[in-house]
Structure formats: structure tokens, C-alpha cells
């Protein structure tokens, strides 16, 4: 049998094979359970201190950021207690944004009560709450920032905040009794006085009141809550929406609270708000992460490892939350990650307090879906904010709406860089039947935003490997410049034409070069034999032509043929690439 026939046989075999993944969902209903009178909590540092179901995610993060510190916060709370209607699944305690026509959401993501808090924020179903409660769903490079310790950080300088405040009203100034101040200085003073991270203060203000709109003169309009001009509440400011409970008139309720607090100028409102709202009410009370702001699962203080075990009465749990919006920690995590990335702060020593619960499910909880298993393989939306679902397989195609992280879809086919998917979307609430109506829709979504349900995280691999003997750097497909620069910050990467690459988000390709500590290496992306940075059927053809002697490859491109790194180019490398294309086994180092 010649090599072409072998290839055809391999392709035929893998075209008829299917891999079945069992998907387990929590029930939509939640019931009260017998609650404990107290919880014993303690903290352990290091990845080995976490349950195994956490460790593969954290090891991948450690590879990217060796200076990051992960602390397992053992809450002593049983998972069934946590997710009961006596704790976190009380009706209207957790809301989720839904607007028919623009938001794509499975009917089972919404509570059958159909209650609305703020406009377009509806009570979330118990399965949605459980998804957001499970920390393992958010141990990605960006989403782990919802577990970031928000205490004062000396690395967050005035210049960092000044840059982060650009293109917003916080880049401006205000006057008090004729004296001019800047919002940036007020934030820095607030951080010093409250012992709270200045970045946390800035991001919270943006989250609560917005950034303002740019005007024709280049300045920015002030959000209503901090304008000082609201009828009946002139000269009052509330940067943290303190007291602005959900529903119509929220701003006015917040300004009424500002009057009680004496927040009659922006500087006082920023500084005292940071101290009272962020520090005293939350961080000093143990809720020192965005996750803990939302879910009150720590006692009345934040523990350190040296404190050992402490027991707290149940009265300190489940009642103190900063926001009802269940998606708030994920959106704020992405904001924090973006600012830390833009200000080159990711290599600092950052501490993450990640909760662990007793008797958790063996794998991360997934959201519930209306789809039946007969629809095909289930995938979940892996995105930090939201992603468009398209009418056809093109970014220029009309959007059918935006989907949020965790939504379940059934894969129906593939077209270029898109998957064809089927999903259910909620349309309206039927009060008489106490249920959400929905309809089944077919659309297209970029492959990079979908991940197979219940697919176990692979054991972490090195992001790259230097092969000194051949003066090569081996990388897995999809590796970006950041994979190298996170380890070698001064590394210089050039594309195949010799142009230097400055963006860390660029996907690398075979034929690129990198200079590390004065030595130049050729970059080899395993399986990428044509040097375009992607693995496609043309790479299979390239390996076949090399093996047949029709188009022999040289140097880095020849090395890329050895996709399984066996030091020999053979038909087994074809199988490795086919497995990668079929997504049954990705190419790794």
C-alpha cells in the first residue's frame, strides 16, 4: 500500500468514528436542605493543596505566569447546602441579563418564576447559579481574575491608573470650593486610605456608573449618579451605587444614600465610598475577591494560612452580596485582566483566593439545556464576555444574537473556521404556565469559542521547548508570541519575511525566528509544514509529498512534519495530524 492509500484509509476511519461524551446536568429545581449551624474554614497555598479537579487548570496558569500564587480557600460548606434554596438559590437573589432579539439564552437558564429585578435582568435558574458558583468553570487566564486578592497593591501606581482612566470621565478634573482636583488623584488617595487596590476602585466605578460619553470638545459627560445634577439630589455623588437597589429609581435611591453619607463632592464620595463600601463592608469582612463580593461564602474575616482552622456561625454566610447580577464577577474579571495586560502587570506576584467546597461534583458543573442528546455532540461557549452567532459561516454575516459563557449548543457540522450549531433560545415568559417559551435555531459560531462538554482538561504541557542541538524552538499549534514572551520578556520574534512581531497575540508559524539571550532559533510549529500558522488538510498533503519525495521539505518545515516528535517522519505523523484535525487528540509538546 502506498502512502496516499494509507492516508485515505486513515481519513476514512476517522470520518466514521465518533466520540461520545456524557453530559450531566443539575436539576432546574432547587430545594431547601438541612443547613449546618457553623462552618470550619482554612487556607492552604500551592496547587497541590487543591482537589485534583482544580489542578490541571491551575498548572496551565502556572506555566504562563510562574509568579502567580494560588490559595485554596476551604470553606467547609457542603456543595448541596451551598446550592440549596436556603443558601445561594433563593429566588431573585441572582439575576441574569436577557433581552429577546439581542441576547441568545436557553430557556432553562432562566428561573421559572419569571421575576424581573432591574430592567432586562431576570431571576436565574438554579442550574445557572450552580454553574457560576463552581470555581472550576473560571480557571482560565482571564476569568481567574474574579479570584484576585483586591487588597492594596503597590504595583498599581498613579501612572497605571492614569493610563487605565483614558477614554473615560475619570481622566478629567473637578473643582471643590474653587480648587481643582483630578479623579485619578482621588482614586490613589482612596487606595491609600482604604487599603484597597486602586485598580479595583477604578474598575468598580466603571462597572457601577459607566465611563461617560465623549463630547465634541474632547471631554467626557458625567454618568448620572456622579453628575451632581439629578433633580432633588443636586450636589450629591455616588460612585459605587451604594444603596442603589434593583428596579426603577435605582440612581435616586443611591443618591438618597449619598445624602445620608454626606457625599457632597466627588473626592469625598470616591474616598469614603472605597473605605466604607469596598473595604469595611466587603474586603475587611473577608470578601476580598470579585467572586466573594457576589457569593458570601467566607466568615467575617479573610483567613491566612498561618491562622489555621477557624469556625464561624452560619449567620455570617449567604446574606451579604454586592450585586445581584450573576455575570458580574465574570465581566469584572475580564476588565481586570484587560487592564493588567495593558499595563504590563501580568508578571507581578498576584494572589488568587479560590474557594473549595465539600463533596463537589467530580467535574465542573455545566449549564442545563433544552436540547435533546439526539441533536449531536454538545459544546459550551468558551468566551469572556459574549460572542455573536452568525446566520452563515462568515464574520460579515448577520448576527442572530450574542451568547454568553457556558451556553450549551449542539454541533451539526463544520464550515471553515465556523461550526454549524443548533441551540434553543428563550423568547418570552408565559405567566399562566410559569415557564419560558423558546425556539430552536440553527446558526454558525467561530470554532475558537466552543469547547466540548465534559471534555477533561489535558495535563498541562510546556508552551514551548528549545532544542539547542538543532537551534529550534518547538511549539504546539495555536501558540502565540505571548507563550514565549511570558518566559523571555526581551525575546525578539520575526515572521518569515524578517519583520519583527510586537503584538503578543500573534499566532506563530513555522519559519518564524526568535532571538533569546542573543541566540537566534528557527520556530517550528508541529504539523504546520506550509508555514501559515494553521493546521489544515494542505499540511497533510505536504507531509505526503515529503514522504513520497515529490516535494521534499527542508530545515524548520521538515522538522514540522515530525508532528509526534519521534525524530522520524512517517505515516504515524499523518495520523497525528488527522487526530488533530478531527479534534480527537490535539497536537501538544
The 8-class DSSP code of residue 454 comes to T
**How far is residue 482's CA from residue 355's CA, in Å, rounded to a whole number?**
29
Do 274 and 261 meet the contact criterion of CB atoms below 8 Å apart?
no
The 8-class DSSP code of residue 223 comes to P
| pLDDT at res. 30 | 60
- Quote the cell numbers at residue 297: 461564602
- Quote the cell numbers at residue 149: 486578592
Do 520 and 492 meet the contact criterion of CB atoms below 8 Å apart?
no
**How far is residue 532's CA from residue 15's CA, in Å, rounded to a whole number?**
25
**How far is residue 443's CA from residue 412's CA, in Å, rounded to a whole number?**
10
| pLDDT at res. 21 | 32
Q: Which of 585, 588, 524, 515 is nearest to 554 (CA)?
A: 524
Q: What is the DSSP string of 95-163?
A: EEE--TTTEE--GGGB-TT--BSSTTEEEBPHHHHHHHH-GGGG-STTGGGGGB--B--TTS-HHHHHH
- Count other Cβ atoms within 10 Å, centred on residue 48: 11
Q: Which of 335, 452, 457 is nearest to 385 (CA)?
A: 335
**How far is residue 429's CA from residue 513's CA, in Å, rounded to a whole number?**
57
Q: Is the Cα torsion angle 100, 104, 108, 109 positive or negative in sign?
A: negative
| pLDDT at res. 419 | 97
Q: Residue 453 CA to chain centroid, in angstroms?
A: 17
Domains of the chain, each with CATH number or no CATH: 158-283 (no CATH), 368-452 (2.30.30.40), 464-581 (1.10.1330.10)
Q: How many residues does the chain have?
A: 589
N- to C-terminal Cα separation, the chain:
30
| pLDDT at res. 122 | 95
Q: Residue 126 CA to chain centroid, in angstroms?
A: 21
| pLDDT at res. 13 | 39
Angle at 561 between CA 555 and CA 567, to 5 degrees: 85
Average pLDDT, 10 consecutive residues per value, the chain (589 residues):
44 36 41 84 96 94 94 96 92 91 94 89 95 97 96 90 93 95 97 92 91 92 96 96 86 95 97 89 84 94 93 93 91 91 89 96 93 93 94 96 96 95 96 94 96 63 76 84 84 94 87 93 95 92 92 94 90 88 80
Amino acid at each position: 500500500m502506498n502512502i496516499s492509500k494509507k492516508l485515505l484509509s486513515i481519513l476514512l476511519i476517522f470520518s466514521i468514528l465518533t466520540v461520545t461524551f456524557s453530559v450531566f446536568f443539575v436539576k432546574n429545581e432547587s430545594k431547601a436542605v438541612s443547613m449546618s449551624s457553623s462552618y470550619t474554614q482554612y487556607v492552604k497555598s500551592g496547587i497541590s493543596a487543591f482537589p485534583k479537579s482544580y489542578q490541571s487548570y491551575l498548572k496551565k496558569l502556572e506555566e504562563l505566569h510562574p509568579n502567580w500564587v494560588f490559595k485554596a480557600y476551604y470553606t467547609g460548606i457542603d456543595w448541596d447546602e451551598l446550592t440549596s434554596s436556603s443558601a445561594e438559590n433563593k429566588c431573585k437573589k441572582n439575576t441574569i441579563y436577557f433581552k429577546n432579539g439581542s441576547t441568545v439564552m436557553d430557556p432553562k437558564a432562566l428561573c421559572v418564576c419569571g421575576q424581573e429585578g432591574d430592567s432586562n435582568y431576570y431571576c436565574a435558574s438554579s442550574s445557572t447559579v450552580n454553574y457560576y458558583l463552581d470555581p472550576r468553570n473560571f480557571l482560565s487566564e482571564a476569568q481567574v481574575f474574579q479570584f484576585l486578592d483586591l487588597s492594596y497593591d503597590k504595583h498599581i501606581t498613579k501612572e497605571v491608573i492614569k493610563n487605565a482612566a483614558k477614554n473615560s470621565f475619570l481622566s478629567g478634573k473637578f473643582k471643590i470650593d474653587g480648587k481643582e482636583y483630578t479623579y485619578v488623584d482621588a482614586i490613589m488617595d482612596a487606595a491609600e486610605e482604604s487599603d484597597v487596590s486602586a485598580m479595583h476602585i477604578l474598575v468598580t466605578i466603571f462597572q457601577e456608573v459607566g465611563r461617560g460619553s465623549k463630547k465634541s470638545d474632547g471631554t467626557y459627560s458625567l454618568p448620572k449618579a456622579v453628575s451632581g445634577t439629578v433633580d432633588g439630589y443636586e450636589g450629591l455623588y455616588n460612585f459605587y451605587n451604594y444603596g442603589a437597589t434593583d428596579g426603577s429609581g435605582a440612581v435616586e435611591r443611591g443618591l438618597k444614600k449619598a445624602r445620608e453619607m454626606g457625599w457632597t463632592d466627588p473626592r469625598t464620595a470616591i474616598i469614603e465610598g472605597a473605605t466604607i463600601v469596598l473595604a469595611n463592608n466587603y474586603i475587611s469582612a473577608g470578601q476580598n475577591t470579585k467572586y466573594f463580593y457576589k457569593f458570601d461564602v467566607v466568615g467575617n474575616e479573610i483567613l491566612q494560612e498561618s491562622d489555621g482552622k477557624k469556625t464561624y456561625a452560619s449567620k455570617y454566610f449567604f446574606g451579604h452580596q454586592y450585586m445581584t447580577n450573576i455575570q458580574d464577577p465574570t465581566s469584572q474579571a475580564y476588565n481586570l485582566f484587560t487592564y493588567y495586560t495593558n499595563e504590563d502587570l501580568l508578571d507581578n506576584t498576584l494572589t488568587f483566593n479560590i474557594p473549595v467546597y465539600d463533596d463537589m461534583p467530580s467535574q465542573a458543573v455545566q449549564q442545563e439545556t433544552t436540547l435533546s442528546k439526539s441533536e449531536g455532540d454538545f459544546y459550551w461557549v468558551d468566551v469572556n464576555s459574549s460572542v455573536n452567532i452568525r446566520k452563515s459561516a462568515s464574520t460579515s454575516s448577520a448576527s442572530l444574537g450574542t451568547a454568553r459563557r457556558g451556553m450549551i449548543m449542539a454541533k451539526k457540522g463544520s464550515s471553515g473556521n465556523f461550526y454549524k450549531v443548533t441551540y434553543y433560545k428563550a423568547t418570552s415568559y408565559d405567566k399562566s404556565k410559569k415557564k419560558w417559551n423558546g425556539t430552536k435555531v440553527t446558526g454558525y459560531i467561530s470554532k475558537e469559542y466552543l469547547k466540548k462538554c465534559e471534555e477533561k482538561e489535558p495535563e498541562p504541557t510546556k508552551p514551548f521547548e528549545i532544542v539547542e542541538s538543532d537551534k529550534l524552538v518547538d511549539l504546539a499549534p495555536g501558540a502565540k508570541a505571548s507563550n514565549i514572551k511570558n518566559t523571555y520578556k526581551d525575546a525578539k520574534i520575526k515572521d518569515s519575511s524578517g519583520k519583527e512581531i510586537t503584538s503578543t497575540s500573534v499566532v506563530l508559524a513555522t519559519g518564524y525566528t526568535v532571538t533569546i539571550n542573543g541566540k537566534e532559533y528557527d520556530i517550528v510549529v508541529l504539523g504546520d509544514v506550509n508555514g501559515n500558522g494553521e493546521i489544515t488538510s494542505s499540511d497533510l498533503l505536504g507531509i505526503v509529498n515529503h514522504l513520497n519525495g515529490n516535494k521534499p521539505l527542508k530545515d524548520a518545515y521538515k522538522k514540522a512534519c515530525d508532528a509526534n516528535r519521534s525524530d522520524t517522519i512517517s505515516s504515524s505523523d499523518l495520523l497525528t495530524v488527522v487526530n488533530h484535525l478531527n479534534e480527537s487528540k490535539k497536537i501538544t509538546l
